[in-house]
Structure 1
């Protein structure tokens, strides 16, 4: 766990972004000290949780989850339901955290990758088992910024530095062709790329990360509140941050550190994960 010191932090942005996502206005907030995991929860860690508890994820209960088209064969696509409006997503029978592309796929060569196909319900269950919780958006953003103020990304304002990619996002023409200039079509191991100033890895791209609070809750209203309820099959939407390996400036420019999004608590896909936090008095 990484210590994030108490102090006043500028959260949100007054420049760029999506107005519909309520990224601004930027506001200075006094945020107490807390501890956050350096990486997203890995397949190996989630596998240990399931082996210990016998937990069954929402995707496993439903019998399907969303998978991006590039990871599916033509046969799988024909057998799966294409999503209206975002026809690059398919509802794939048997897709889950341990079978990310459906039956026959495995995580055995991806144990250090972030676990995916986890709903907010699943993330809360893991956190409770581990004696932790999900971060609020303001905690997530403070940690993701790594001590920098008002920058686009956790490392600064330039997406690529000296020809070197700093995160795992989409390159090429979305959604048809990914040139994989950053080295990855899907998820990358959780300690790929350089950590930010606090020591957190990959708070931009790779996988969306669940937050505790309801979607787009004003930043000031997140102070001092913790949303721990495990609301199985809830239709309420909750915050997700950081973007994923599918984000591209032409469509989902939400790998910026101030970017906000949300999803229902029982939703899952092959680009959604999470990390955990502890309060100061919960430190192990």
Structure 2
């Protein structure tokens, strides 16, 4: 279901949290419609059945692209979260992420897992082109970062979270995030979910949108930038529908071995722990290589005036 938003002016970003969220600045977005929930496994399965689409995680790898890799490693797969056996140095995320051959949207935890009982969970292990292909099929698009953040804020100007400024108002759990302080090895299970949750399991924001915080990270269609542009000093010059990034500047200079462009992902996931990754907030943003899906990354779509009808969901 699409929710119609009127568009407007809002303060994007944050000066109070992580450096890449700054500076906060005023922007305008035009009216658009956005999915009330993240795209589900059932939604994506209908797309695949109708089109025969094969996701990046399911495609055979070309040895030419990996000249130094052993042949036995050149198999389709994806990145799956794997809890550690105890406390670890949180600076090294390779300790809880594993490349699993056979992991894909159909098999989210590895080749022996299924989505049979997860049809109402968000689809995961989708690369950017997979998400964009689905969006095109339904006559929509992936949101810009500004559209996504405007929608996530739900009309609450400057609030830290999609529901206000308190992480747990009145002790209520508002999103599917990591429970307890012991990331990445032990979750307290307070929320009732250890991994993804069915979409809409937690309260909607002020615009009637679900899971704009937590559950799975969501692709946007904007190239990564290390910081936001500076605030303008005149009301007449507030950027409208901004798209500040570019492909050539989206690469990570700290990781020259990964010559892969990156898009912005938003919203945080079920792995966001307050002690490690306080990113289940509207302003939070992270870079994601466009060819890589993970077990905690999905998407939702938007429709603008210029988008066609596509396939009705």
TM-score (norm 1): 0.88
Task: Answer yes or no: is the 8 Å Cα contact 2:28–2:239 preserved in 1.
Answer: no
CA distance in 2, matches of 1:144, 1:47: 26
Q: How does 1:119-268 map to 2 (within 5 A)?
A: 119-172=127-180, 173-216=182-225, 218=228, 223=241, 235-268=260-293
Q: Equivalent residue for 1:79?
A: none
Q: 1:8-41: CA deviations, max 9, x gaps?
A: 11111122x111x2x1211111211011100110
2:77 matches 1:64? yes
Task: Answer yes or no: is the 8 Å Cα contact 1:144–1:257 preserved in 2.
Answer: yes
Q: 1:123-178: CA deviations, max 9, x gaps?
A: 01111111111001100000000000111111001111222200000012001101
2:110 matches 1:102? yes
How far off is 1:6 after superposition?
2.2
How far off is 1:262 after superposition?
1.1
Q: Equivalent residue for 2:52?
A: 54
Q: CA RMSD in A?
A: 2.3
How far off is 1:281 after superposition?
4.1
Q: Equivalent residue for 1:25?
A: 23
Describe the SS at the equivalent of 2:130. helix
Q: Equivalent residue for 2:7?
A: 6
TM-score (norm 2): 0.80
CA distance in 1, matches of 2:192, 2:57: 28
Q: 1:22-63: CA deviations, max 9, x gaps?
A: x12111112110111001100000000000111010111151
How far off is 1:86 after superposition?
2.1
Task: Answer yes or no: is the 8 Å Cα contact 1:209–1:240 preserved in 2.
Answer: yes
Range moving further from structure 2, 38-47 or 251-260 = 251-260
CA distance in 2, matches of 1:47, 1:107: 10
Q: How does 1:53-92 map to 2 (within 5 A)?
A: 53-61=51-59, 62=61, 63-70=76-83, 85-92=93-100
Q: Equivalent residue for 2:71?
A: none
Q: 1:178-206: CA deviations, max 9, x gaps?
A: 11111110001111111101110011010
Structure ID, larger Rg? 2
CA distance in 1, matches of 2:8, 2:297: 30
Unaligned stretches of 5+ in structure 1? Answer: 75-83
CA distance in 1, matches of 2:197, 2:124: 12
CA distance in 2, matches of 1:213, 1:106: 31
Relative distance call for 1:267 and 1:221 in structure 2 (3 A) is: farther
